[in-house]
């Protein structure tokens, strides 16, 4: 399951997807609750657009906006049934998550080591996703939901989840996740099918995505830098010993 990835930058969105970025600076690496670009069909114009969305889907019925903590991946086998995802799927709210790379844990050394997975040709990955819109109650910093969203002025927060598929027999993706766990992979859309995916009917959508072709991938260890230990507080001067009492 993918919890950490590198979103494509604005210039790469223009070069590879022929779409302009929304003029918003997102993080170099994204985790659930962070904002990142997605490509979807605009409900207003009917054309493909890039918009900023929260990684981790918040269904329209959410009361507190905390669903993103658990809804960043959607299993393709059950996405049409799960309460958090089924309405977005039924409405055909499909999106592309443009990613330069994503990360998964590798246990070959006996402990989890983060590995980076990307296309060998350097092009962005077009990850398959679904999106939803959640109306945020409250105002400003008092609004519930992910902290990153506080910088957005719109009442509506767009959020998304990446679709995943079984990867038990995938030559590359089966090397990741803990021993004994089911192997999963993010799903990708072929570049020539992006337009059809964005406007697909729910019944046609499953045939359009798959795990990335193994021959197109490049992988390498990319462990997270060790956390810096907090600096100890500066030494405090020792209190002076009291001198002998002076006679009255």
Question: What average pLDDT values come out for the chain (248 residues) when binned by 10 residues?
Answer: 93 92 89 96 94 96 92 98 97 98 95 97 98 79 65 83 98 95 97 97 98 98 77 49 43
Report the DSSP pairing between strands 156-166 and 73-75: parallel
The DSSP output letter for 30 is: B
Residue 110, token pair as written in the block: 């006996």
Residue 162, token pair as written in the block: 């990446």
Of the candidates 244, 180, 234, 188, the one whose C-alpha atom is nearest the C-alpha of residue 211 is 188
Q: How far apart are CA 229 and CA 128, in angstroms?
A: 38
Q: How far apart are CA 95 and CA 195, in angstroms?
A: 10
Q: Does CATH place domain 5-104+118-166+185-221 in 3.90.1680.10?
A: yes
Q: What angle do CA 127, 132, 134 make, to 5 degrees?
A: 140
Helix, strand or coil, per DSSP, at residue 52: strand
pLDDT at 185: 98
Of the candidates 135, 147, 157, 123, the one whose C-alpha atom is nearest the C-alpha of residue 38 is 157
3-state secondary structure 10-28: HHHHHHHHCCCCCCCCCCC
pLDDT at 96: 98
Burial pattern 89-102, b for ≥16 Cβ within 10 A else e, equals: beebbbbbbbbbbb
Query: pTM, whole model, 2 decimals?
Result: 0.87
C-alpha distances out from residue 183 to 69, 129, 158, Å: 21, 19, 29
pLDDT at 155: 82
Helix, strand or coil, per DSSP, at residue 142: helix
């Amino acid at each position: 399951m993918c919890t950490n990835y590198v979103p494509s930058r604005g210039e790469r969105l223009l070069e590879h997807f022929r779409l302009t970025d929304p003029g918003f600076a997102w993080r170099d690496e994204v985790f659930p609750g962070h904002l990142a670009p997605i490509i979807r069909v605009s409900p207003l114009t009917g054309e493909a657009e890039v918009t900023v969305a929260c990684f981790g889907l918040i269904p329209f019925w959410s009361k507190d906006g905390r669903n993103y903590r658990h809804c960043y991946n959607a299993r393709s086998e059950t996405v049409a049934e799960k309460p958090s995802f089924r309405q977005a799927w039924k409405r055909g709210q499909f999106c592309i998550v443009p990613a330069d790379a994503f990360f998964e844990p590798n246990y070959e050394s006996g402990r989890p080591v983060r590995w980076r997975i990307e296309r060998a040709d350097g092009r962005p990955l077009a990850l398959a996703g679904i999106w939803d819109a959640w109306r945020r109650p409250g105002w400003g910093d008092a609004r519930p939901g992910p902290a990153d969203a506080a910088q957005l002025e719109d009442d509506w927060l767009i959020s998304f989840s990446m679709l995943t598929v079984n990867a038990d027999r995938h030559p590359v993706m089966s090397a990741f996740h803990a021993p004994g766990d089911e192997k999963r992979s993010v799903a990708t859309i072929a570049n020539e099918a992006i337009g059809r995916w964005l406007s697909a009917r729910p019944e046609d959508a499953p045939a359009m995505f798959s795990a990335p072709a193994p021959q197109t991938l490049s992988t390498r260890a990319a462990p997270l830098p060790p956390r810096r230990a907090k600096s100890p507080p500066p030494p405090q001067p020792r209190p002076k010993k009291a001198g002998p009492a002076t006679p009255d």
